[in-house]
Homo-oligomer: A and B are copies of this chain.
Amino acid sequence: MFNTVIANNLKQFRKSRGWSLSRAALETHVSKAMLGQIEREESSPTMATLWKIAQGFHLPMSVLLEPHSVNPQTLAKHSKTQLCFDDNLQFRVLFPFDPLLCCEMFAHQIAPGKVHLSNPHEIGVIEDIIVITGELQIKLTEHWQSLQAGDTLRFKADQPHGYRNCSSELAVFHNVIHYPKTISDH
């Protein structure tokens, strides 16, 4: 269940920071005993507690809630991966989320005539678009704008946005998602 994801993520981030339970308790204002319980999946934390933990680690909530494989601090290499199909937008992971860099990267393809509308990310998330081939239209604040191959666009992704391809050729673009490094900016 979901408590496993949180337990693994909390353990991973605490270890990568080199924090003891006591240090983490000081930083998060959640008791050492409770942090231990969460890591051992002996308790399901409330949202308020999870929020304190995320604040203390200066991480967005989503990072605590998403399943992660362990990302080593050493070199990472990825060969061209299989396309995944998600509605009208095909994608593959170029770099999975890295808690140190607070970003992840995808390569997307959108076929002629297809539209994809994205749900907003949490506050503070910024996205980069780099058009590789074709022509991509992107919708921001209810307004569609056109990007050519070689164009780039950076926008706040904590708002609804969308992609579509009105041309007659496949559009390929890369998407870097930057997560906020601190939550205290809210």
Contact = CB atoms under 8 A, between A and B. Distances in A.
12 contacts: A2-B51, A47-B47, A65-B65, A72-B156, A72-B159, A78-B151, A80-B151, A98-B154, A107-B130, A107-B150, A174-B174, A176-B176
A164 to B, nearest CB: 17
Q: What are the nearest 7 A-B pairs in CB distance?
A: A80-B150, A72-B141, A44-B48, A76-B154, A44-B46, A75-B154, A78-B152
B72 A140 contact: yes
Interface residues of A, number: 67
Given A2-B48, A70-B159, A77-B153, 10 more contacts: A2-B61, A44-B46, A46-B46, A62-B119, A65-B65, A66-B119, A69-B123, A73-B156, A74-B153, A76-B152
Interface of A: 1-3, 6, 44-51, 61-63, 65-81, 94-95, 98, 100-101, 103, 105, 107, 119-123, 126, 128, 130, 132, 140-141, 148-156, 158-160, 174, 176, 178, 181
